[in-house]
């Protein structure tokens, strides 16, 4: 991504970083913004990291600054845990791999704006498994320092900007991408720049001393993000802080598999799910390798491999696909039908 401009996928406009977010001498601060937490967030990040370091199994890693939605998801699901802020998704997964956190909380899809994290490569590469899912209602606020004046530019995570795309256009606000919603709030708190606001949770406004100018911003009535909890496969659930959530009583299984780009290859691979009455709730495709000759699929199905019908469907999948990998078997947090 060039320092001068950045493109937000799913939003049909370019974001001018340095033309707007530059010092009075014209020097860009792009590198600082992309590579590290802003000053307002640093002390809190350091404090949370220090607490997590004292009790790593109680730590749950997340991408973003304190007060972001992933942090809120952790507070909801693991009230007794120690949230561990990490700057990138890769950092959050590495924290679990290196034993600095027992788990990671990762957003994967949003009801208004679709896919979030690149699970198809992050998860397989990390070797971690999905232990749980969680659905968090998202409540974006427009937040700014006191005296910011008329707002013209809004900084936030590309997902948050995408979830509020129509609202931003209707209010003639220019969107600027940031690593996460709370990090965006910390950034506008540091800059105290006239006309600059952030889209963030109310919690971030509180943490970074910002005013809430508007609440409940979203382009639809239902704005929910699905998160998954990742952990090492051999981590026993009982060794980690308890999960507090209502469950539907069913299980979910997440899979990754590859088929050749030949006629009916996908149809043959997943036929067993329909034939055995197994409900597939998600199927996403990705090009696999550099040749465009095979496609990788990520799928979520209801049920678990120990159920006969799921086992039969998986056998058929195994016969017709390659690289089948079970990414996780976990309790369903929300009915799918």
Ligand X SMILES: O=C(O)C(=O)C[C@]1(C(=O)O)C=C[C@@H](O)C=C1
Site string for ligand X, 222-241 (x = CB under 6 A): ---x----------------
Site string for ligand X, 196-225 (x = CB under 6 A): -----------------------------x
Of 88, 302, 266, which is closest to residue 179 (Cα–Cα)?
88
Q: How many residues bind ligand X (CB under 6 A)?
A: 15
C-alpha 46/C-alpha 54 separation (Å) is 13
C-alpha 316/C-alpha 125 separation (Å) is 25
Interaction of residue 190 with ligand X, rule CB under 6 A: no
Interaction of residue 160 with ligand X, rule CB under 6 A: yes
Q: Are strands 224-231 and 103-110 parallel, antiparallel or unpaired?
A: antiparallel
What phi, psi does 319 have (nearest 5°)? -70, -30
CB 317 within 8 A of CB 253: no
C-alpha 246/C-alpha 123 separation (Å) is 25
CB 201 within 8 A of CB 219: no
Question: On the CB side of 60, how many CA atoms lie within 13 Å of its CA?
Answer: 27
Interaction of residue 321 with ligand X, rule CB under 6 A: no
Catalytic residue among 62, 89, 227, 297: 227
From 16-24, 154-162, 273-281, 317-325, span contacting ligand X (CB under 6 A): 154-162
Structure tokens, 125: 């590469």
Measured from the CB atom, is 72 or 231 closer to ligand X? Answer: 72
Measured from the CB atom, is 227 or 297 closer to ligand X? Answer: 227
Q: Which long-range contacts (CB under 8 A, 24 or more apart) does 88-92 make?
A: 88/63, 88/179, 89/63, 89/117, 89/118, 89/122, 90/122, 91/61, 91/63, 92/61, 92/62, 92/63
Q: Which of 33, 41, 68, 92 binds ligand X (CB under 6 A)?
A: 68
225 is catalytic: yes
Interaction of residue 157 with ligand X, rule CB under 6 A: yes
Catalytic residue among 129, 225, 253, 258: 225
Q: Which of 41, 44, 64, 288 binds ligand X (CB under 6 A)?
A: 64
From 27-35, 67-75, 79-87, 282-290, span contacting ligand X (CB under 6 A): 67-75
| DSSP secondary structure letters along 223-249 | -EEEEEEEE-TT--GGGSPPP-----S
Interaction of residue 48 with ligand X, rule CB under 6 A: no
Interaction of residue 181 with ligand X, rule CB under 6 A: yes
Measured from the CB atom, is 10 or 271 closer to ligand X? Answer: 10
121 is catalytic: no
| Residues lying near ligand X in the complex (CB under 6 A) | 64, 68-70, 107, 110, 116, 138, 157, 159-160, 180-182, 225
- Point out the residues that are catalytic: 225, 227
């Amino acid at each position: 991504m060039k320092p001068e401009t950045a493109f937000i996928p799913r939003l049909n406009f370019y974001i001018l970083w340095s033309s707007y977010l530059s010092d009075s001498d014209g020097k860009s601060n792009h590198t600082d913004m992309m590579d590290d937490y802003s000053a307002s967030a640093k002390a809190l990040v350091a404090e949370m990291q220090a607490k997590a370091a004292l009790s790593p199994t109680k730590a749950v890693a997340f991408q973003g600054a304190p007060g972001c939605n992933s942090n809120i998801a952790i507070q909801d699901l693991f009230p007794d845990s120690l949230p561990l802020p990490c700057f990138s998704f890769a950092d959050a997964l590495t924290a679990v791999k290196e034993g600095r956190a027992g788990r990671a909380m990762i957003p994967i899809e949003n009801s208004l704006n679709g896919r979030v994290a690149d699970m198809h490569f992050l998860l397989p590469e990390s070797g971690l498994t999905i232990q749980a899912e969680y659905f968090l209602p998202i409540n974006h606020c427009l937040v700014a320092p006191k005296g910011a004046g008329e707002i013209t530019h809004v900084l936030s995570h590309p997902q948050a900007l995408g979830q509020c795309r129509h609202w931003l256009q209707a209010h003639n606000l220019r969107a600027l991408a940031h690593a996460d919603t709370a990090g965006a709030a910390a950034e506008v708190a540091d800059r105290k720049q006239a006309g600059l606001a952030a889209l963030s949770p109310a919690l971030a406004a509180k943490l970074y001393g910002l005013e809430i100018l508007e609440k409940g911003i979203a382009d639809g009535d239902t704005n929910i993000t699905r998160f998954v909890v990742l952990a090492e496969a051999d981590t026993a659930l009982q060794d980690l802080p308890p999960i507090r959530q209502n469950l539907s009583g069913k299980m979910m299984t997440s899979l990754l598999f590859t088929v050749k780009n030949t006629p009916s290859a996908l149809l043959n691979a997943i036929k067993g799910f329909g034939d055995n009455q197994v409900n597939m709730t998600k199927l996403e495709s990705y090009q696999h390798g550099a040749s465009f000759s095979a496609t990788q699929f990520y799928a979520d199905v209801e049920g678990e491999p120990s159920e006969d019908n799921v086992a039969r469907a998986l056998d058929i999948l195994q016969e017709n696909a390659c690289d089948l990998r079970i990414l996780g078997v976990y309790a369903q947090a929300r009915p799918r039908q």
